[in-house]
Structure 1
Amino acid sequence: MHPIIECADDLGAALKGVASVEPAFMSVGEKQSALVGLVEVRSQLDALLARVLGASDDVAAAHGLRDAAAWLAVETRTTRREARRDLALGRALAQHPWVATALTSGAVRTEQARMVVEAVDALPSHVGASVRDDAEEALLRLALQHDARELKQIGKRILDVVAPEVGESHEEAVLRAEEDRATVGVELTMVDDGEGRCRGSFVVPSHVGAMLKRHLLALANPARHAEDELRDESGEWKPLRRRLGEALIEYVERYPVDATPQTAGVNATVVVTMTIEQLLGETATALLDEGSRMSAGQARRLACEAGIIPVVLDSKSVPLDMGRAARLFTKSQRIALGLRDGGCTARGCETSASGCHAHHDDPWSRSGLTDLANGRLLCPRHHRLAHDSRYAMTVHADNKVTYARRT
């Protein structure tokens, strides 16, 4: 029997021998040793699999397939993508014997080996073999202190270490190529699911993604919110992805109206149309200019701060009033409200002023004025309740408000 087949059989038998062993009863030291040892063995096994797969073109030919990865994927129920990654690694190890030795010995991880190979192969064609060898050797040394993600970044600048005279110009060329690809690949998709939600995805240059994430993280900062704002409906802490989603909503709804782009001389603005009865009613709905609908309570809430234009119609569909951005509180008024209220005015809420919306006590929909006497700060949650017809809001003598569910 071939030694590699014997090895596979021995590994299988050894694993079966410990299948019934309960790791929970191991000591801390034993678990630490086992975890490190198993990761090293997994690297060695990955190397052996990749090497065998890279040498199996005859298997593909025997079955009339493009490569051995296609046969292996079917036989082992592995995805073709995963099998082809292993095949690519196997072929790369044949061209990079130092990386193959490091992975086979368990000194580096599989993803680290891939990053080293990719970095060396990405070096410009005019770089000589000796420089490539130096780069590979340097990256393998660095792999002892850095994970695969860090190695990928280091690999882009490895010429600065082994050949500084060509490193700077190469890095600039690599970055320029990345930026060109990012510009060409920009895209955004948005689809309304018909159930009150919009789903989407986007691809933007890395610096734009970093800027957007920084903005949303600032809005999602726990310091801006009271503890109850940071918990979900079941009382558990909201995961970061939900807090970032809520931050995106706030980012869009509170975008400065005067900063929105213009089309045909008009700021890009959502128009909400409703009759006077719908605007004042507790169970009414409103029509958005792109065809979808929202509750009148939602429209009234957005009218406090968001950049929407409410168009109120009479019974004959003649516009009675068109809201303007002047109904929104100015920056100076917001500062004054922050100084006066200190934060959310809902009793028991500790949300800071920076995390609050400006709300009209006497609603704009009922001709309420946009002035300090008619304004107050409410956090997003309590602002929603203020416009929710299922709740009654009471203003107390100390300017605090409380809510009670209507019966």
Structure 2
Amino acid sequence: MLDDVAALVAERNRIDAALARAVRAAELSQAPERDGQRSMASWLRGHCRLSGSEASRSVRNGRAMEHLPVLAEAHDAGLVSASQVAVAADVVTPRRLAAAAAQGVDLAEVDAILTGVAVEQEHDALVLVVKRYGDALDPDGPEPDPTEGRSLTIVKHADGSVSFRGHLDAVGGEKFQTAVEAHVQADRPAGDERTRAQRQGDALVQIADNALASGSVPVLRSVKPHVAVRIDLDDLADPATGAGVATTGFGATISAARARWLACDGRISRVVFGPDGVPLDVGREQRLVSGHLRRAVEVRDGGCVFTGCDAPNPWCDVHHLVHWIDGGDTSLDNSALLCERHHTEVHHGFRVERQPSGRWRTWRPDGTEITVPAPLAPTAA
């Protein structure tokens, strides 16, 4: 049984290697552009339903394998895993490649050493070797540009909860810790049994609350950023808990009870739909989309409608399906929610259309339809 497990791991490694090479080939040929996507990572998320981290790793590994051919061969042979290649990819970032070239580093020798460690030693040993290489390549540390090393990755899970990880330079980290600690120390009621981690999490949410309430955040898409929740009137008025009946602007599902809690300190906007989906219309006199029409479009579309795109409401513009200059009304029927990239694509030949069933479809400039790739399309019952 253990031999079977090992054989399956090796086979997975070989498949991951083939996937990374295919992803890189598609990236070099700009294949995602044909489906209106900016990158292979976005195409993998939208068309292959990969998570953001999985998609990014395949892209990054494909690029790294070009610079580390010995490691790539070991990956092809099933001896090295995708996670090991992802670790080694830190060696061949553009900045480190430039530093290595300037110092006359023999990358082929580095490739051979990394491969030997990856094949013969445990995963953490490779992590340590890559770190030591980076330290030796740049013993004085990175240039003092604080923005270069800052990052924040936010991941939304299926239940609507959010995880994030990030890295800040010393000064940025000091500002962040000071702001969080101020709220932690200001909120310490008697009998508080929260852990330190829980208090810091609550503090971070309070910082966001204060910023949104004060209106100090930048205006987004002509509307002040706000927490948006969609819920049917009957569910809002019903005193029952009603789990999973409300939807937030970023797509999370929450209970009616939590929606009512948010409504206690928020503005309620009515968006009325008839049984036949009668559109909300503000007429020809108004070219720009008003706040209430935008809310109606957000409620109906729930994000970018371009096939394969997962951009949430706040990232999107409201597009006139029939352009204003061509006589198109500013109405719900004539509107579609599109992220900035796909709004641009639609103005350059791509086309979106809403079917009577409510499903959106997308066509390329040559008239062919963008669909889920056949190997991943659900089979008909």
TM-score under structure 1 normalisation?
0.35
Q: Which has more helix, going by share of residues?
A: 1
TM-score by length of structure 2 reads: 0.37
Give the greater-gyration-radius structure (CA): 1
